[in-house]
Amino acid sequence: MESKISLTILLFFIFLSGCIEFNNHNSNGFNDNFDFIQTHEHFYGKVVKVVDGDTVYVVAENGTKYKIRLLGVDTPETHIKNNPYEYYIDKNTPITDVNYLKKWGYKATEFAKNKLENKTVIVVFDNKAPKKDKYGRYLAYIFVSNTTYGIRKPEVFVNFNEELLKYGYARVYISNFELKDEFIKIEKEAKMRRIGLWNWSNN
């Protein structure tokens, strides 16, 4: 009888700790990502190749290979000439140094490789944006674990598209997608703090 009571108490504390852990995720803001993922078409996969800062190949669990163009963001080009009038620090200040932009294109590629290559990710499709672009690439968000890669807990995954904006590796690519306002806000903050490629001066 005593052992049964002890077991009941033990199970109660395990349950309680689980509730605390769940609440901690909520307080950290991860629950928003969990809700977003669960209410959108998505799949788990592994990033097998990073083409550049905003384009990757992902192999899904069923073996299907997808070429993913990260939705809503644009990193500087590395293989063709950049358009300096796509990157404005403010409405009057374009980044006119194309070599500077190319350098940040390579930096964005390295950032993507470090965070995504050979990692388990969640590919999430937007409810407003088209599923493919005119080149046949899938347009999607990529969520990647910010702690332990490969663990299937959507509440501990972050939106990598947003990370590119947050750390100044990309600009917002304006189109019709659900997170556009949020992306613009993140880009504005990075510009204000002169993070990443936005720390440019023409002097």
Residues catalogued as catalytic: 69, 77, 137
**Residue type at 178?**
E
Taking a C-beta distance cutoff of 8 angstroms, is the pair 72, 173 a contact? Answer: yes
Q: How far apart are CA 146 and CA 194, in angstroms?
A: 24
Query: Long-range contacts: 90-96, Cβ < 8 Å, 24+?
Result: 90/191, 93/202, 95/197, 95/200, 96/202
Q: How far apart are CA 107 and CA 128, in angstroms?
A: 30
What is the CB neighbour count within 10 angstroms for residue 19? 9
Instruction: Find the helix packing angle between 30-38 and 2-27, rounded to 10°.
Output: 90
What SS3 state is found at 65? strand
